[in-house]
Chain A
Amino acid sequence: MTALAARRRHPLAAAAIVLLGLLVTGVAYAAVTPGRAQATTASADDVAAGKKLFLANCSTCHGLNAEGRNEFPSLIGVGAAAVDFQVGTGRMPLQATGPQAPKVVNKFSDEEVRQLAAYVASLAPGPAVPSAEDVDASKGDVSNGSLIFRTNCAMCHNFNGKGGALTRGKYAPNLEGVTPTHVYEAMVTGPQSMPVFNDSTITPQEKRDIIAYLQAVETDTPPGGVSLGSIGPVSEGLVAWAVGLSLLVGCAVWLGAKAS
């Protein structure tokens, strides 16, 4: 410890600390949670149970018949996919007003989400919850998915799906750890600021390609080495300046110092 303390004014100490800090942050950042399974069958009982849940949890804003009012959108025709996405990711019921509903822990059971979705789907036809085959990443083409992602998604969600800022406090969320089903549902329903990508603009096969690409990004080691969060020039620049410049300054100080 005394040896360490004695070197705390060493020209390279600052660089070493920055490096250590980055390392610790990077490792801590790497913990990710996996997804969950999804069932898709709806009966009259489900619809009835879903209506009860709806009246208890959603009708305050969306109206007793899901007709919506003022700022709150009508849910007629949004389909089961929208409910499964919004409630399944904890965005709805809305916890607080703000620029955007954040992803939080979903307090409903899978069963309850399914019942709510069945009720909203019974109001008018809309996008259904995708089947397991629709979101099967193994049937997708990663490289084509990468092209489609870069053309349609990367402007907001970043080239690796890490998300990014929009205007006035809104943001495109990080897609890391989002289940393939939720990714699919977001594309077909266009939640919040996100545009809609229906089956004509991005075909179901292309959606599978995108899901395959997102999974590949998550599981493959980045080809460029340390990814530094994959958020582009900000973190890379910070490291280049903090570490690179510290090393150069350290060398310059050493060059100028007189030997004892």
Chain B
Amino acid sequence: MSIDQSHGHPGSDVATTSEGGLPERFENPGLEPHRHRMADVDPKAAKRAERQVAALFGLSTLGTILLIVAYYAVSIEGDSWAEIARQLRISTTLLGVGLALATFGIGAGAVHWAKTLMPDEERIELRHPMRGTDEDREDALAILREGSAEAGVGRRPLIRNSLLAALVPLTVGPPIVLLRDTGPLPGNDLSTTFWKQGMALVHDPITDETGRKIKPEDLTIGSVVHVLPEGIQDAEHELDEIAKAAVLLIRLNPDDLDETSRAGSYEGIVAYSKICTHMGCPVALYEQQTHHLLCPCHQSTFDLKQNCKVIFGPAKRPLPQLAITVDDAGYLVAKSPFTEAAGPSFWERG
């Protein structure tokens, strides 16, 4: 091994001239000696590996059989949902186990086969340069030039231009139409809700098909009702409308409310949007003693006493209040629609 022969030549490579005694050049050590596997030297081990691979493939077959049997043997029928759910559970469990065994058995068997029995001798194939000879490159260029000249693209501008006129609309037009069809643009849908002046507050039609209206005396102090505007189930996009218009109606002691929150209240009854101004989760965890409303998603906390001011969490704006009053028949109705957009922020709202 030659050590530090370039000593005294300041311009030479530092790594090879250090005092540490490094060789000027590492020799290619080549491949490390090949170690044979058990199955290569011991026929018994090879036989065992063969049986293991076969067992794994056999496991896969069993899994497939289980899959097919389970599919036909377990019927998903019954008199009650509980019965159907029970059979569904058995069915999905067996199908899942069957499919898992079937696919895992094949995969594991193949890998085990490759690792233990297939040839594992290292082989070296040198990489050759990819560049063609200069001659070939010249030839290729000449062919391209000749083709271009024969087609006469440069000589016949009419053809070139009309081809462009055919291609451009095809490649530009349809994508624009396709993108446009993902619309329509939301318009002012995000800023408005279903609530209109004089609209009655009713129980959620999902739990109460009659859409019970609510009188102030129905609510005791500490009562909470999830309410929607009357007739929302007949809206064109019912679920979209419910997602924006859901309101929480709460009665508390009027003395607990400050000036701002009392403005839209009726005898201590307040209505606030249920949709969090942060991400749009339903803010419905009302703590009766502290009068805090908690959003379950990110723990934004709103204080009912201070017009739903944010007192904790990531929300940036208070929940909008729905001003309420009573109509001639004594039912609670909206005094006016929401005066600001309910729900989370969007681009135009900021």
* A residues with CB within 8 A of B: 143-144, 147-148, 151-152, 155-156, 164, 166-167, 170, 172, 190, 192-198, 200-201, 206, 220-221, 223-225, 254-255, 258-260
Contacts and interface: CB of A to CB of B under 8 A. Distances in A.
Which interface residue of B218, B220, B292 has the most chain A CB atoms within 10 A?
A: B220
A170 B301 CA distance: 13
28 contacts: A148-B207, A155-B284, A155-B285, A166-B287, A167-B292, A167-B294, A167-B312, A170-B287, A193-B287, A195-B224, A195-B288, A196-B220, A197-B224, A198-B218, A198-B219, A198-B220, A201-B218, A201-B219, A201-B224, A221-B86, A221-B89, A223-B89, A224-B89, A225-B89, A225-B93, A259-B38, A259-B39, A259-B115
A192 B286 CA distance: 11
Given A192-B289, A194-B288, A259-B116, 14 more contacts: A147-B206, A166-B287, A167-B294, A167-B301, A193-B289, A193-B290, A196-B222, A196-B288, A201-B219, A221-B86, A221-B89, A223-B82, A258-B115, A259-B115
B282 interface: yes
A197 to B, nearest CB: 7
Contacts of B290: 167, 193
Given A200-B219, A201-B225, A195 B86 contact: no
Contacts of A224: 89
B296 interface: yes
Interface in B99-114: 111
Nearest to A193: B287
Contact of A166 (B39, B86, B219, B294): B294
B241 interface: no
Contacts of B285: 155-156, 166, 172
B190 interface: no
Nearest to A71: B289
B85 A255 contact: no
Contacts of B86: 221, 223
Interface in B248-301: 250, 282, 284-290, 292, 294, 296, 299, 301
A231 to B, nearest CB: 13
Which interface residue of A167, A223, A255 has the most chain B CB atoms within 10 A?
A: A167
Interface string B193-230: 00000000000101100000010011111111110000
A198 B204 contact: no
A148 B226 CA distance: 10
Given A151-B206, A156-B285, A193-B287, A260 B37 contact: yes
A242 B169 CA distance: 54
Nearest to B40: A259
Contacts of A225: 89, 92-93
Interface in B165-210: 204, 206-207
B223 A196 contact: yes
B88 interface: yes
Contacts of B92: 225
B223 A147 contact: no
Contacts of A192: 288-289
Contacts of A206: 207
A151 B226 contact: yes
Contacts of B89: 221, 223-225
A64 B291 CA distance: 28
A70 to B, nearest CB: 14
Contacts of A195: 222-224, 250, 286, 288
A258 B36 CA distance: 11
A170 B290 CA distance: 11
A255 B115 CA distance: 9
Contacts of A197: 223-224
Contacts of B120: 259
